[in-house]
């Protein structure tokens, strides 16, 4: 079963890419702050809760506490 991303997460990711391109062309503090805000919005979006990638499992699956 394939999961789709919510529209607000898609929008935040699109904005992140657009802001990154702008920052590459015109470095300024306002764009850096915008990129940081968008990064947090994407990374901490509720869509990602409870999902673990195969890469994450490979890194953390064999860990012993």
Predicted pLDDT at 65? 47
Inter-axis angle of helices 29-43 and 7-25, nearest 10: 150
Q: What are the domain boundaries of the chain?
A: 7-44
Chunked in runs of 10, what are the mean pLDDT values of the chain (65 residues)? 78 96 97 96 85 70 56
Predicted pLDDT at 1? 45
Predicted pLDDT at 51? 67
Predicted pLDDT at 47? 83
Q: What pTM was computed for the model?
A: 0.71
């Amino acid at each position: 079963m394939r999961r789709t991303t919510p529209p607000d997460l898609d929008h935040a990711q699109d904005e992140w890419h657009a802001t990154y391109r702008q920052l590459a062309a015109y470095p300024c503090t306002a764009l850096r702050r915008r990129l940081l805000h968008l990064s947090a919005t994407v990374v901490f979006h509720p869509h990602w809760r409870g999902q673990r990638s195969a890469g994450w499992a490979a890194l953390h699956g064999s860990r012993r506490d």
